[in-house]
Every structure is written in structure tokens, then in C-alpha cells.
Amino acid sequence: MASGDPTTRGTSETAVGTSDPGQQWSTVSNPTSRPWLRTTITAGVTVSLFLVCLLVLLGILGGRLDSHVILTAALAAIVPLFVIVPTFLWLDRFEAEPPGYLVFAFLWGALVAVVGAFFINTFGLQVLIDAQWSDPFETGAVYLAPLTEETLKGLGVLLIFLLRRKEFDGIIDGIVYAGLIGAGFAFSENILYLGQAITEYGDEGLQATFIVRGLMGPFGHPLFTSCIGIGIGIAVGVRSPLGKVVAVVTGWVCAMLLHGLWNLSALAGLSGFVQAYLTYQVPIFLTFIGFLVWLRRREGRLIGLYLSPYADAGWLSHGEVAMLSRLRTRAAARSWARSTGGSPARRSMRAFQDSASELALLRYRLVRGTAENGASDRERVLLDAITAHRRAFIGSPVT
């Protein structure tokens, strides 16, 4: 196949000549695999980092709160996650991100970013006090905390981008990872705030704090950090190095501004907070939700548009392209596969759909001239994977 050209169908497709679907599956290169040694070392370092931060976080909480207070606060802090996490997973339906990276994102926010922010904020405030700097907001919450926290959370999105550059497709990936990092950060931070409210004011303090942080502002941190995810996602599709830097920095600045405005409204008293909440926080949140809906629909349209040339060349059927561009028909296809071949066939259908979605988004970057090095080779790997996955649940190639 010509480099980057979907109009020529290859004659040496992986596993095409094999009659056993299980063997066909095993002979296809995993398009997302990494060398074993690199994977082991990376996993070991990551787990060690998370464990150290967990121990430090438990020490911070234990030094301020009783164990039963920590448990009560943690149970209350979990509640918003049942809304936040499904929202970002809902966005991630067309081209699902690897579960390991999603877990990494959440733990980065819940452990690394929280612990780092605690020490940097504490150190920064002490420096300001020693310098006898007059702080009009008394706590530095309006400028120091947004700078520190959004930088640390954004660093997690950047690390994921660097670790899986070939599969970081754009804005949706950036928002998903940023949102989960923000959700993790909010979870750990809420334990501290809720615990302090219980310690100082009892059940009334818990209820009031939960209303503000758990009901009125559960999407605060995920929304702030999503600005950075959007910036990195835009940078993926920009050719100019300067344009990439501008996109990332703009997203980072927007995240800090939104974070600072939220903290400023919290310092304005109950009436000031409610007024700010209704006048600009709710509209911003509704705009963000509308943007997510538009992004998901746009991704479906892109998948249909950029898979069509492969259907013209015979790699896919036009019916498959139509199925792949709509979530409803994708779900119906998985149900059909399960009814005909059980769970293995359903897994093959899901893998077929994921590989096809990734192929479409890769093709989108190739056409725009923003694809990474080796993108044409990866295109062929994905095409071979699609062929083998199809054979595993249907048993015959496209004709």
C-alpha cells in the first residue's frame, strides 16, 4: 500500500489466509503495544510514585482529622464522582482510551497533584509572609492556588500526551484525561474540606460544605483543567511549533482564570457566591456541556468522513462505515455480535470499532499534515487489525 494512501488495498494482510479466527486474532500486531521492558519500568515507577503520594496524603489528612472523620468525608466525597466520571466516559465512547491511562489520570489528580499542591502552596504562602507582602485576599487562593494546582494537573495531561503521542487524537482525548485528573483532585481535596467542616461545625458543616462543593460545584476542577486538555488537544492538530505553544499556554491561562474566579466568588460571602454562581458559573458550565455534546457528534461525523475512502478501496464496507459513525448503531452491532458468537465475538466487534475509530482520526491528521512520524506504518497496522478483528466475528473479508 502506498504510504498514507487508502485507495490501494494490500495483498499481504495479516492473518487473512488463516481459517481459525482465534489464530487470526493472535497473529495481528497489537497497535497499542510497547516493549515489555519499557512497560515494566514505567509501571513500576508510576506505582511507586502513587504509593508514596498516598502515604503522604494519608499523613496530611491524619494530622488534621480523626480517622472516623476521614472515612465520613471520603464517603461524601465519592458521591459527586458518580456523576463526573460517567460524564467524561460518555464523551469517550467513539474511540475509547486505554483503561490504564484513565486510571493513571484519576490517580494523578487524586494523589500527585494534590500532594504537590499542598506543599507548594504552603511554601509559597510562607515566602509571601516572610516577604511581608500584603495579600488583599488574605489566603492567596485567588492567584497562588490556581497557578499551582492547574500547573500540576495540566502536567498530568501533558505526560499522558507524551506517553501515548501516537494515540492522542485531539480535543476529546485532552478533555477526557483532564476531566478525570480534575475529578481525582476534587475527590481528595473534598475529603480535607468536608473533614474540616465536620470537625468545626458537625453535621451542619458537612451538609453546607457538601452542597457547595458536591452539588453546586462538582465539575469545578474538571472544568478548569479541561481548558488545558483543550489546549493540548488543539496543539495536536496544529502544524506550527509556535502555534502548539500558544494553544497549550492559552488553555493553561484560561484554566487558572476560571479557577481564580471560582475562588474569588467563594471569598465574597454567601450572597456574593450565589450571585456569581448564577450570573457566570452556571452559564459557563452549560456552555461546557453543550460543547461536549457538539464534540461527540463532530467525532462521529469525522469517523464517517475519513473512513469512506477505505470503504471505496475495499478495506471496509459502506454499511460498516455508516455503523461506525453512530453510537446507536455501534451498540446494535455489538449486541448482534454477541447474539451470534457470544462474548468473544462481542469483544472482537468492540476491538474492530475501536481500531476503525482510531484509523479515521489518524487519517484526519494525515490529511491535515499534523500526523506524527510513522503514522503511515501505523495506518497499515490498524488496517490489518481491522481485517483480523472482522474475521474473528464474521469469518470472511469484505467483498
Name which of 327, 346, 328, 344 is nearest 336 in CA terms. Answer: 346
Percent of the chain scoring above 70 in pLDDT = 88
Of the candidate ranges 237-246, 261-270, 287-296, 350-359, the one whose mean pLDDT is the lowest? 261-270
Q: What is the pLDDT of residue 374?
A: 84
The residue assigned the cell 507582602 is 133
- 8 Å CB contact between 60 and 265: no
Contacts for 312-316: CB closer than 8 Å, 24+ residues apart: 312/6, 312/7, 313/6, 313/7, 313/8, 313/9, 314/9, 314/398, 315/6, 315/9, 315/383, 315/386, 315/387, 315/398, 316/356, 316/386, 316/398
| pLDDT over 50 (residue 23) | no
Q: What is the pLDDT of residue 22?
A: 38
Percent of the chain scoring above 90 in pLDDT = 63
Confidence of residue 250 (pLDDT cuts 50, 70, 90): very high
Q: What is the pLDDT of residue 6?
A: 67
Mean per-residue pLDDT, 121-128: 86
Mean per-residue pLDDT, 282-290: 93
CA distances from 136 to 8, 133, 141, 142, 163 (A): 66, 10, 11, 10, 41
Three-state secondary structure of the chain: CCCCCCCCCCCCCCCCCCCCHHHHHHCCCCCCCCCHHHHHHHHHHHHHHHHHHHHHHHHHHHCCCCHHHHHHHHHHHHCCHHHHHHHHHHHCCCCCCCHHHHHHHHHHHHHHHHHHHHHHHHHHHHHHHHCCCCCCCCCCCCCHHHHHHHHHHHHHHHHHHHHCHHHCCCHHHHHHHHHHHHHHHHHHHHHHHHHHHHHHHHHHHHHHHHHHHHHHCCCHHHHHHHHHHHHHHHHHCCCCHHHHHHHHHHHHHHHHHHHHHHHHHHCCHHHHHHHHHHHHHHHHHHHHHHHHHHHHHHHHHHHHHHHHHHHHHCCCCHHHHHHHCCHHHHHHHHHHHHHHHHHHHHHHHHHHHHHHHHHHHHHHHHHHCCCCCCHHHHHHHHHHHHHHHHHHHCCCCCC
Polymer length of the chain: 399
| pLDDT over 80 (residue 150) | yes
Q: What is the pTM of this model?
A: 0.85
Q: What is the pLDDT of residue 81?
A: 96
pLDDT digit string (tens) for 252-269? 999 999 999 998 888 877
Q: What is the pLDDT of residue 143?
A: 84
Mean per-residue pLDDT, 164-188: 92
